Amino acid sequence: MKMKKMNGMLAMACIAAMTGCNNGKHVTAEELTGRWNIVEVSGESVKADKAFFEFVKEDNMLRLHGNAGCNLINTETELDVKQPAALSFSAPRVTMMACPDLETESKILNAFENVTQVKSGKTETQLHLADKNGKSMLTLEKAAL
């Protein structure tokens, strides 16, 4: 009897651990519309205060304009009604200016290459751009208007 109770508690703990990082809200790519500050890349805080992505919805496209820390980035993704959280960007166009902190910029651009989906964050103003396994590549915080 003790073993069944222990297994039940273990199962509940596993379920709690799996759902603990997700607030249960389903997020769609369309919810990216607006300006977002890049606050983390692969779990590390971003020190570049200019790093942001701004998403604009045009018909069935989501256009991205941003700053990876120094250089500008532009690309787009087509919204998929069958997989609303999916992201598949076209090849990004990035300016090639010399920058004092290319390390942060390189991390952001490398992480961006692995993004395939959007996921909810810890708060209503936070979202994650994640890889195919659900691992957060970039954490975004909604910019104040």
SS (H, E, C) 81-120: CCCCCECCECCCEECCCCCCCHHHHHHHHHHHCCCCEEEE
Measured distance CA(70)–CA(68) in Å, rounded: 6
Long-range pairs of 44-47 with CB within 8 A, sequence gap ≥ 24: 44/107, 46/104, 46/108, 47/101, 47/104
CATH fold for the domain made of 26-142: Lipocalin (2.40.128)
Measured distance CA(137)–CA(124) in Å, rounded: 18
Give the phi and the psi of residue 79 in degrees, each rounded to 5: -75, 135
pTM here? Answer: 0.80
pLDDT one digit per residue (tens) for the chain, 145 residues: 444 444 443 333 333 333 334 445 678 999 999 999 999 999 999 987 889 999 999 989 999 999 999 999 999 999 998 999 999 999 999 999 988 878 999 999 999 999 999 999 999 999 999 999 999 999 999 998 7
Measured distance CA(5)–CA(140) in Å, rounded: 41
For residue 49, the tally of other CB atoms under 10 A from its CB is 9
Amino acid at 97: M
Give which of 72, 57, 55 is closest to 127, Cα–Cα: 55
Q: 106: buried, middle or exposed (CB in 10 Å: 19+, 13-18, 0-12)?
A: middle
